[in-house]
Amino acid sequence: MNRAAATRRTTLIAVAVITLLVAAPLALGPYAVTTMTRMLAFAVLVLGVDLLTGITGLPTLGQAAYFGAGAYTAVLVGLHITSDAMAQALAGTAVGLIAAAATGWVAVRARGIVFLMLTLAIGESLHQVAATWPAVGASNGLAGMPPITLFGGPPLLPAGFVYWWVLAAAITVFAAVTLITRSPYGRTLRGVRDNESRMRALGYRPALARYSVFCLAGAIAGAGGALWAAQGRFVSPGDLGFEVAALALLSVVIGGAGSLWGPCLGAALVLLVRDNLSASIGGHGPLVLGLVFVAVVFLLPRGVAGIRHRRESRS
Amino acid sequence: MTPVLELRGLTHAYGSLRAVDGVDLSVLPGERHALIGPNGAGKSTLFATVAGTLPATGGSVLFDGQDITALSESERARRGLLRTYQHSSLFLNCSVLDNVALAVQRVDRVAYRFDRAARRFGRTETRARRHLESVGLIGRAADDAAALSHGERRQLEVAMVLASQPSLVMFDEPTAGMSAAETERFADLVERLPDDLTLLIVEHDLDVVFRLADRVTVLHLGRVLASGAPEQVRADNAVRSAYLGSARTDDLFNGGPR
Amino acid sequence: MAAYLVSVLNGLAMGSLLFAIALGLSLVFGMMDVLNLAHGAIYLAGAYLAVALLPGDDVGMGTFVLAVLAAAAVGAILGGVLAGLTRATPGHLDQALLTLGVSLVVAELLSVAFGEEVHAIAAPAPFDGGVPVLGETYPAYRLLVIGFGAVLAVAVYLLIERSRFGSLIRATVADRAMVSALGINTGLVLTGVFAAGAALAAAGGVLAGPILGAQPGLDEKVLLLALVVVVIGGLGSVRGALLGAVLIGQVQALGTSLLPEYASFLIFVAMALVLLLRPAGLLPPRTAVRT
């Protein structure tokens, strides 16, 4: 297949998927729409994890912390400053970026499994801070955020309107991440993933690339958190816990590290199991997800790294 | 004329073993300088120490007259001191074009840009393709580097280094493991390189050395044994007597270890 | 002065527990680069085993020791299973994900069996009171834990530094390939260390029971503290784990008594500071010369 035809096909699929997503609230009930809104917000977090894990080869268990930072920021902005969703999302993104920049330098000195370990330690530390700091409600979290507004309009109460806002934001992030992976910067990140010492010999500073992408992923996670809060209008320490970080990594792994749409589907699936199927299997969603983790490791040929080689698309 | 590269008493010790032991060497601009010596002579360590992969434990490295001993490997590369690897070191899960483009985009200062897709950076893409063309790999631009044969990988290495706008290239045993035809093609490639590019080549294949080099330095047990024009070195008494007691240096060179 | 001493003692008790828990995590990582994310869940299994075996407020010393031994046995079995699973998995990321999955499963099974509420565990009878320390009453059980920590540290020191098995462990941390090239069955050594480390973590769960209790989410907190201890001390280093455990125990106790809201923040600051000054940790293990 030549490139023009491939591009045309990709465009067609993208248009079809976006149309379906936009039309969804017209056909579905509010519960399903709420569920999809949460999936979209979670998918944004997963895109950031994919940028780190799939594109740059840095497996992370700390992104939930920046997701949480964005969610807390959005709720605080909503409670005290403005109900404007755009302002909340931008504030969440900025705080996610700042939090990642302030803590990430510890992690990016390492790579591989030690990086995983350090991100987990950072993420859990921030989780514990959220769970004990009275200023953000400690273990109770923050509730009572007013409904979001857009462009000074009335409060967006119906689930469908919140969904459309989150969908628009998620598509923007998806497009931005797609552009990043195809840009020279994306090429630099793949170079760091494949062969860091060779990058150094070519005159690159791999640590700079790792740090910058860590900050970027933090900003994306912060945006995801703000969107998450726009739907739930509530945030608790559980939103930045170990489990959220683990599920985000799982989404990337089952969706195929390096691909972008795969992890988004993975995010939807993982959240569906945790929040929705959970009720029908006696509330044991985490049990199922734990088993999925184990199964994924054993069933994927050549392990997790194998997916990357199999699915990475060539242009 | 200021030497491009000047080593003053350069030393690298692994514990008490001085693999490179007080080496003095200067390489003039445009020179094709070969470094030879048996296995264990310290050639690879010398290479790594000059490139900055390993730190010097003594002495200094001057590049274009400036002391670069304290600089990192990547800073040396940015100043134009590039090396290839004895075992090809590529970005195996990236396309062949990406491998070269990584070198070009750093030189073009667009390596951290993400405002446009890479293929819209026309100048960078054109230059990357031209470098692939010059080593005969343009037909494989879209393939994974992992799919290349051994010889093709060495060619890609060369393209990557040349794409980094070097003023000095250090080749670490470039023809090791190559077939005769591939070696021939490599020698052709080197002969066609611009005259102002300085080369330092570690090589076991003495035919290649005497075809390409205009100066030869012999390294033995981490020290410089002899240095001079190829014919001079071939006839050098120190080289002759110090090596294995061999009566004729020709034996040494022709029957030398691979 | 007395308040300060109480904080120091609390820190030592916490440090003793952390050493028991972090030791296995550190050695398993040092010897085979496996990050065992199920370590916290194994600890929690030990804690809940104490809940099951030690009902009520009146616990005899014999029963308590029995519970510790039972937890160690359960931990060893879990560790053995994990060792087997990880050894069947290629790649370190896959292994970490595998242990992550196991930890989710174990934690969920535990909360199914024991519910979401907080369980308190009574200290064994002879130690459930207080002893006077500089005019203040201090829980006797914590002194017992400090004593246990001291004994464990000495025992581990003798095992690792003086015995043949210990030299094998140290050699494996330094250069795994060389040890197996010498014809030693590293698989057996690795499984043994994995099981022993997990046994210590589960036993730590029982020992920590009278101080920390048992509740869902405790596994994450403990895993975090153990990770920080391992990172601060140096991956794969026994002496590092001890120093890191004592240090984090003190930071934790001091933080809890002075700035309870920021205690976990202090832990992160301590880790960041150590990594800034000593990227490889305070007492990194000796490794073979790599050229």
- Chain B: residue whose CA lies nearest to C290: B14
SS (H, E, C) chain B: CCCCEEEEEEEEEECCEEEEEEEEEEECCCCEEEEECCCCCCHHHHHHHHHCCCCCCEEEEEECCEECCCCCHHHHHHCCEEECCCCCCCCCCCEHHHHHHHHHHHHCCCCCCCCCCHHHCHHHHHHHHHHHHHCCCHHHCCCEHHHCCHHHHHHHHHHHHHCCCCCEEEEECCCCCCCHHHHHHHHHHHHCCCCCCEEEEECCCHHHHHHHCCEEEEEECCEEEEEECHHHHHCCHHHHHHCCCCCCHHHHHHCCCC
CB atoms within 10 A of CB B227: 18
Domain assignment of residue B238, given as a range: 5-88+167-254
By Cβ distance, the residue of A184, A194, A197 closest to B92 is A194
Mutate to test the interface with C, among A128, A251, A253, A299 (most CBs of C within 10 A): A128
In a domain, B197, yes or no: yes
Is residue B156 included in any domain, yes or no? no
Q: Are residues B78 and B204 in the same domain?
A: yes
A191-203 pLDDT, tens digit each? 999 898 899 999 9
Q: Judge whether A198 is closer than 8 Å to chain B, CB to CB.
A: yes
Q: Do residues A87 and A95 touch, judged by C-beta distance below 8 A?
A: no
CB burial readout B75-99, b (16+ within 10 A) else e: ebbbbbbbbbbbebbbbbbbbbbbb
Give backbone dihedrals phi and psi of B54, rounded to 5 degrees, phi first: -110, 145
Decide if pLDDT at C288 tops 70.
no
Domain match, B122 and B198 both:
no
pLDDT of the residue at A217: 96
* The total number of structural domains that make up chain B: 2
- pLDDT confidence of residue A306: 44
**Res C22 pLDDT > 60:** yes
Q: Is the four-CA dihedral C48, C49, C52, C56 of positive or negative sign?
A: negative
Q: Which pLDDT belongs to residue B252?
A: 52
pLDDT digits (tens, 9 = 90+) for C149-181: 899 989 988 888 788 888 888 888 777 778 877
Q: B66 and B194: one domain?
A: yes
Whether the full predicted model's pTM is greater than 0.90, yes or no, is no
By C-alpha distance, which of C36, C87, C82, C91 is closest to A301?
C91
Please check whether residues B81 and B96 belong to one and the same domain: no
- How far CA C94 is from CA of A247, B241, C90, in Å, comes to 15, 57, 7
Neighboring chain C residues of A109 at a CB cutoff of 8 Å? 275, 279
pLDDT of residue C1: 65
**Which of C29, C97, C107 comes nearest A293 by C-beta?**
C97
Pairwise CB contact (< 8 Å): A59 & C93: yes
In this complex, which of A179, A194, A204 lies closest to B74 when CB atoms are compared?
A: A204
Q: Quick check: C62 pLDDT over 90?
A: no
CATH code, domain with B11: 3.40.50.300
Whether B120 maps to a domain, the answer reads yes
What pLDDT is attached to residue C291? 34
The domain over range C2-277 is classified in CATH as 1.10.3470: yes
Please check whether residues B111 and B223 belong to one and the same domain.
no
B160: in domain: no
- Bigger pLDDT: B194 vs A91: A91
- What proportion of chain A, given as a percentage, has pLDDT over 90? 36
d(CA A125, CA B95): 40
pLDDT in tens, B133-179: 988 889 998 899 999 888 888 889 889 999 999 999 999 888 888 88
Distance from C-alpha of C241 to C-alpha of C244, rounded to nearest angstrom: 5
Q: What is the pLDDT of residues C93-123, one digit of tens each?
A: 888 888 888 998 898 888 888 888 888 887 7
pLDDT digits (tens, 9 = 90+) for C237-258: 888 889 999 999 988 888 877 7
Residue window 102-121, chain B: list those with CB within 8 Å of chain A.
102-103, 105-107, 110-119, 121
**Do B248 and B198 sit in the same domain of this protein?**
yes
Closest CA of chain C from B45, distance in Å: 10
- pLDDT, residue C234, reads 84
- Nearest Cβ partner for B111 among A184, A193, A309: A184
Q: Which two tokens stand for residue C30?
A: 């040092």
Q: Write the single-letter amino acid at A205.
A: R
Q: Which residue of C has its CA nearest to B12?
A: C291
Check whether residue B206 and residue B171 sit in a common domain.
yes
Confidence bin at C211 (pLDDT 50/70/90): confident
Cα–Cα dist B23/B223, whole Å: 6
Q: What angle do CA A93, A96, A101 make, to 5 degrees?
A: 125
Cβ-based neighbours of B122, under 8 Å, separated by 6 or more: none
Residues 6+ apart with CB under 8 A from C10: C142, C249, C253, C256, C257
Q: What is the mean pLDDT of chain C?
A: 84
Partner-chain residue, chosen from C85, C93, C264, that has the shortest CB–CB distance to A125: C264
If one counts every other C-beta atom within 10 angstroms of the C-beta of residue B152, the result is: 19
B42: distance to nearest CA of chain C, Å?
13
Question: Residue A71: in which H helix or E strand, if any?
Answer: helix A63-80
**Which residues of chain B make contact with A196, given a CB cutoff of 8 A?**
none
- Characterise C210 by phi-psi region: left (phi > 0), alpha (psi -120 to 50), beta (else): alpha
Together in a domain, B135 and B235? no
Q: Is C235 helix (H, G, I), strand (E, B) or coil?
A: coil
What would the mean pLDDT of A287-294 be, rounded to a whole number? 82
Flag whether B96 is in a domain. Answer: yes
Q: Is B248 exposed, middle or buried (0-12, 13-18, 19+ CB in 10 A)?
A: exposed
Q: Are residues B116 and B219 in the same domain?
A: no
Is residue B121 situated within a structural domain? yes
Domain presence at residue B162: no
Q: Which of helix, strand or coil describes residue C130?
A: strand
Are residue B122 and residue B32 in the same domain, yes or no? Answer: no
pLDDT at A305 > cutoff 70: no
Give the mutation candidate from A202, A308, A310 for the B interface (greatest B CB count, under 10 A): A202
Across the interface, of A182, A190, A212, the residue whose CB is closest to B94 is: A190
Q: Which chains would you list as touching C if contact means 3+ CB atom pairs under 8 Å?
A: A, B
Residues 6+ apart with CB under 8 A from C20: C148, C149, C152, C200, C201, C203, C204, C207
Within 8 A of B113 by CB-CB distance, chain A residues are 183-185
A182–chain B Cβ distance below 8 A for any pair: yes
CB within 8 Å: A284 and C102: no
CA distances to A15, A28, A168, A175, A209 from A18, rounded to whole Å, are: 5, 16, 10, 12, 32
Are both B172 and B84 inside the same structural domain? yes
- Are residues B239 and B193 part of one domain? yes
A250, closest residue in chain C (CA to CA): C97
All structural domains of chain C with their residue ranges: 2-277
